[in-house]
Structure 1
Amino acid sequence: MKTSVFLYPWDVVGDPDAPARVADLGVQQVTLASAYHSTRALTPRHPRRRVVTAEHAAVLYPPDSARWAGHELRPYPAGDWAPGDAYGEAARALAAAGLEVHSWVILAHSSRLGAEHPATSVVNAYGDRYPWAPCIARPVVSAYLVELAAEAAVRPGAYGVELESCGWYGFGHLHAHDKTAGIGLGDAAQYLMSLCFCTACREGYAGLGASPDELAAAVRRALEPAWATGGSAEAGRAAVERLLGEDLAAVTFDWRSGVARTLQETAVAAVRAAARPGFQVLLHADPEPYRAGANVGVEPAHILRVADGVVLPCTGGAAQAMLSPFAGHGTESSVLAANFNVVSGMGGNPAGLAEDAERARSLGATELRLYHAGLASDADLAAVAEGLRNSRTGG
């Protein structure tokens, strides 16, 4: 199985040893961020720094001003955390070490976009805006995301792209000094808190025969016990139907899945139109269509007809739940990439990589993704190299 590690450009730029260090792990590919959200990251081996603060969502290369002329929404250039063409500089260095480089593009996740253009954000049933979550039902947002996908994906030297957040984002979000854990919200309650009630979504619900005001009231009623008791652990589509009622739940499923399918089809088509033949397009995904977040909910049969494959979060014993729904829906060339966290300090298990890789292979995985070579300690990277040597994935 081909194996790729995730990297940021700042993990490579200014560290001449980084490309060889990555290649020595036994991987064949790097998935390199070209458009990324705000973050604070450690760089444990960089010769000049230890902490990088990316203050806002940005493209990590110079955006094409001609491409964006006339667009209401435009990507933000990076600040000093990724100046100039940081992506291009890192990509060239990695390619010189014999690594195949694919771009990594974050789409519907940008707090700065929501702060500067509040009308673009998801609005929950209580009227609260989520500035980190652009509403993909709004035409101006979807047009921006499609254009961003095409530009950020097809960077010089890239052989493919992984599109993250190519769908709905919602309540779940790692925010500065987050204070949301006092009420435990399970999968179903997270969905209700992620439903959007902006003007575009209200019109969408009405077009499917539901009163948006009644739907919002039903969401608030369904969540009320969680605020009183300290949380709700219910999970799954059936739990959403119990909380909201089958008819109203069906309206939300139909509206949101239709909007997400359209964005995914349009974004993939735009990337392919801009790329050379054979350019690989994958989506970070979850096989439950109603889920929101970085790994967007998809319909497995549909997405494998649209994209070349998916990257699925498999850490913590999730491989079967993630991989099995895609069985039988793709072609012989469809990519099912099992993504494992290998940063022990972030909940990963690099020592178990060989076992995890073999388990994923047995469940239909065709490739591996390892998150994240730039954040991992030396001990984590040593465990990764040993795990790849001890499995059949290293070559």
Structure 2
Amino acid sequence: MSTGAIVTANVIGYAYPWDVLGDPGFVERVRGLGVTTVAVAAAYHTTRAATPFHPSRRLVDARGAAFYRPVRTGAWSGRLIPAEADWVDDPDPFGNATALLSDAGLEVAAWTVLTHSTRVGEANPDIVVVNCFGEPYPYALCPQSGEVREYAATLAAEALRDTASSAIVLEACGQLGIQHGGHHEKTAGAYDDRTRRLLSICCCPACRQAWTGRGLDADRVIADLRAATSHGATSQPSPDLLRTLLDVRHAATDALRAEVIRAARAAAGRSPRIILHAQPDPWETGALPGLTATAPGDVDTVVAQCWATDAASVQNAARLTETVAGRATPGAFVTVLPPTRAEEFPRHLSALRDVGVEQFHLYHLGLAGADRLPLLAEASRATAGVA
């Protein structure tokens, strides 16, 4: 486990820089919810966000993935360079939002999305995830690439540089797959769980080279994956092959995480608390990729996706608490946005607490309207008295 400065808050609220900047009521609203730590986006993907409480706007159209800090020329040594956010009228949105919150006595975590950037992927198609049919996923930067790992590490370092952030939240610290949730996504329900997993196995040049290093015939692997994902497929990859492919992915994920954490600590000049978004299912891809065997020992907190207020989310949290026991604090990422219903949310929080969740990560301080705002306070009440 990390030896960073301890963030004692049991509830962390998430926000965008534009939620904080220009809204003099933000701090008091957050305090009124019982939230003392705010995870502010330092690097984030494309989004169109509501701002129901902001005094001067109602929407922000973040037209592409961006870094919400100055992109310093000397900090980026390779060709993978993030874009600045010209839709925020501030030269350093994350840095100035952090300063404002810190001056008000709130703790700040740098919410940093690492391998999810359509803008970087489209500009550099040779480093994105590719499925077994040769179809690229431009939103997904493959961690098998050393350039991607260097890019992610620089993002983390630059996010923390010269700020009072006491923690960093690592989102997409691993590989994304076929499920994206992008503009007008039309893949939901088309493939079963098995096929989605197979179509999320990256077959980019770097991954194929890594397979060869493990004694595999890359062309044969791709042929097997294609056959297994074809309509009416009767053959499946062998368990040994799948185990090796997962090992290759996890080795790259471990390398990515190690570089990111090392860079973050060096830039901060201290040991910030490391919060990892991940799922206990090792095969998961996406913003919360599957945990590797060593990941819980490298970080302070592991946060699993528990947005749905159903038994599956609770079971996922229970699996997480068992997986990280004695190594990291188990957290649950919960949302007060639709389709979450007011009458379900308190019961959901209680059920998550009952299976061992010790920290709630709340989505979202800026997106929740007046009818949803009271639900955010439920998490603070649910964690009252948690050590």
TM-score by length of 2: 0.90
- Give the letter for the 2:319 counterpart: S
Among 179, 188, 192, the residue aligned to 1:186 = 192
CA distance in 2, matches of 1:358, 1:190: 32
User: Partner of 2:317: helix, strand, or coil?
Assistant: helix
User: Partner of 2:110: helix, strand, or coil?
Assistant: strand
Among 19, 30, 35, the residue aligned to 1:11 = 19
Query: What is the CA deviation profile of residues 101-150 of structure 1, one whole-angstrom value per residue up to 9, with x for unaligned ones?
Result: 11100000000111111111111111111110111111111111122122
Alignment pair present for 1:321 and 2:313: no
In the TM superposition, structure 1's runs of 4+ consecutive aligned residues that sit over 4 Å from their partners are: none
1:275 counterpart residue number: 268
User: Partner of 2:255: helix, strand, or coil?
Assistant: helix
1:215-254 residue pairs with structure 2 within 5 A? 215-225=221-231, 243-254=236-247
Aligned alpha-carbon RMSD (Å): 2.3
Contact 2:349 2:382 in 1 (8 A): no
CA distance in 2, matches of 1:169, 1:117: 16
Alignment pair present for 1:208 and 2:203: no
- Give the letter for the 1:354 counterpart: P
CA distance in 2, matches of 1:308, 1:90: 24
Identify if the C-alpha distance between structure 1 residues 144 and 391 changes in structure 2 by more than 3 Å, giving closer, same or farther.
closer
CA distance in 1, matches of 2:314, 2:325: 17
After TM superposition, the structure 1 stretch with the greater mean CA deviation from structure 2, 183-192 or 6-15, is 183-192
| Percentage identity across paired residues of the two chains | 35
1:139 counterpart residue number: 146
After TM superposition, the structure 1 stretch with the greater mean CA deviation from structure 2, 152-161 or 383-392, is 383-392
2:256 counterpart residue number: 263
Query: What is the CA deviation profile of residues 230-256 of structure 1, one whole-angstrom value per residue up to 9, with x for unaligned ones?
Result: xxxxxxxxxxxx832213212211211
Identify if the C-alpha distance between structure 1 residues 390 and 214 changes in structure 2 by more than 3 Å, giving closer, same or farther.
closer
CA distance in 2, matches of 1:82, 1:191: 41
Question: Which structure has greater helix proportion?
Answer: 1
Alignment pair present for 1:109 and 2:78: no
Alignment pair present for 1:84 and 2:79: no
User: Partner of 1:52: helix, strand, or coil?
Assistant: strand
Cα offset, 1:172, TM superposition: 0.8
Query: What is the CA deviation profile of residues 306-350 of structure 1, one whole-angstrom value per residue up to 9, with x for unaligned ones?
Result: 111211112323133234344374547x3222111111x2x2345
Identify if the C-alpha distance between structure 1 residues 391 and 355 changes in structure 2 by more than 3 Å, giving closer, same or farther.
farther
TM-score by length of 1: 0.88
- Give the letter for the 1:149 counterpart: A
- Give the letter for the 1:361 counterpart: R
Contact 1:103 1:160 in 2 (8 A): yes
Contact 2:30 2:36 in 1 (8 A): no
Cα offset, 1:391, TM superposition: 5.6
1:295-374 residue pairs with structure 2 within 5 A? 295-299=288-292, 301-316=293-308, 317=310, 318-327=313-322, 329-331=324-326, 334-343=328-337, 345=338, 347-374=339-366
Identify if the C-alpha distance between structure 1 residues 173 and 257 changes in structure 2 by more than 3 Å, giving closer, same or farther.
same
- Give the letter for the 2:12 counterpart: S
CA distance in 1, matches of 2:322, 2:269: 29
Identify if the C-alpha distance between structure 1 residues 15 and 329 changes in structure 2 by more than 3 Å, giving closer, same or farther.
closer
Cα offset, 1:275, TM superposition: 2.2
CA distance in 1, matches of 2:386, 2:250: 37
Cα offset, 1:36, TM superposition: 0.6
Contact 1:284 1:311 in 2 (8 A): yes
Identify if the C-alpha distance between structure 1 residues 65 and 394 changes in structure 2 by more than 3 Å, giving closer, same or farther.
farther
Alignment pair present for 1:167 and 2:160: no
Identify if the C-alpha distance between structure 1 residues 91 and 354 changes in structure 2 by more than 3 Å, giving closer, same or farther.
same
